[in-house]
Amino acid sequence: MGPREQYLFDLQGFIVVRNALTPDQVLQLNAALDANHDKRKDDTASSTSEALEGKQYRGLYEGMLRWEQPWCNPFRELLANPRIIPYLNTLLGRGWKMDHSPFIFTSSVGTEGLRLHGYGQADFNGSRFYIYQNGAMRCGLINCQYQLNDVNPGDGGLCVIPGSHKAYFILPDDISRYEAHREIVYHVPMKAGDLVIFNEATTHGTLPWKGKGERRSLFYRYTPKYMHYTGGAYGTALPEWTKELTDAQRSILEPPYVYHRPLIDDDGHTLSTPRREGE
């Protein structure tokens, strides 16, 4: 993660990584989703705002790591995607972990939005935070959202308030409802294969979907090695199917701990051991 990217993340609370997926990965992920369309569930965004209302709920897919072969494979390969390792090492420290299983939100024309949430530093929360100390950035929960289809300006979907991860005052309710000061809210346009990484403390939500195509947003969420946010991916014992994963992929799903935790090298496959306790 270079100096320019570090500056942008520190300033904004999010960063867009272009071409985080190859065109072939995008094709495989979309093909897996098409083949498992029956697994889609309605998921309300629980909007209580007229500005974010829609005609229908967003779609939700879960459990992709457990789908039948070969459909599970493209999702498993992203557990330790080499493209994101430098970012996670910088923002979470070495030895980070997945907090819970990946999921996908989909939207077609008319899908409702989601109220803006994420409260910066307004109240202390040891699981969602942003600090800069001793020359390093550190975060709590980090969201990695891959786009599987294009998101054009004005389409809707993910929006953020840049810099809000540092806010010390409570988010006003009318701004949360997207009913006041819309000019401070930034809609994040992306191409298929792009990735946005944002801090859970950064105020974020979704705008109603107006795009011609379907929004397909794939979420992988990571935390520091010592922390759970939503209870962890698989608690304290990994299920039997995880033996099909590589050692590096499996290590990401382990419960939180610090001593002797395996470290994933930049290639996404090699495990190394800490140079000292607690690294």
* pLDDT recorded at residue 46: 66
Mean pLDDT of 30-42: 96
Q: What domains can be seen in the chain, in order of their start residue?
A: 13-272 (2.60.120.620)
* pLDDT recorded at residue 130: 92
Mean pLDDT of 136-160: 96
* pLDDT recorded at residue 127: 78
* pLDDT recorded at residue 78: 96
* pLDDT recorded at residue 192: 98
Is residue 68 within 8 Å of residue 249, measured between CB atoms? no
Is residue 23 within 8 Å of residue 193, measured between CB atoms? yes
pLDDT of 279 over the 60 cut: no
**pLDDT tens, residue by residue, 218-242:** 999 999 998 887 765 565 678 889 9
pLDDT of 33 over the 90 cut: yes
What SS3 string covers the chain? CCHHHHHHHHHHCEEEECCCCCHHHHHHHHHHHHHCHHHCEEECCCCCCHHHCCCECEEEEECHHHCCCCCCHHHHHCCCCCCCHHHHHHHHCCCCEEEEEEEEEEECCCECCEEEECCCCCCCCCCCCEEEECCEEEECCEEEEEECCCECCCCCEEEECCCHHHCCCCCCHHHHCCCCCHHHCEECCECCCCEEEEECCCCEEEECCCCCCCEEEEEEEEECCCCCCCCCCCCCCCCHHHHHCCHHHHHHCCCCCCCCCCEECCCCCCEECCCCCCC
- Say how far apart CA 149 and CA 62 lie, in whole Å: 18
Q: Which of 128-142, 158-172, 237-251 has the highest mean pLDDT?
A: 158-172
* pLDDT recorded at residue 233: 57
**pLDDT tens, residue by residue, 62-103:** 999 999 999 999 999 999 999 999 999 999 998 899 988 899
* pLDDT recorded at residue 128: 81
* pLDDT recorded at residue 126: 75
The pTM is what? 0.93
Mean pLDDT of 191-197: 98
**Mean pLDDT estimate for the chain:** 91
Residue 216 pLDDT grade (very low, low, confident, very high; cuts 50, 70, 90): very high
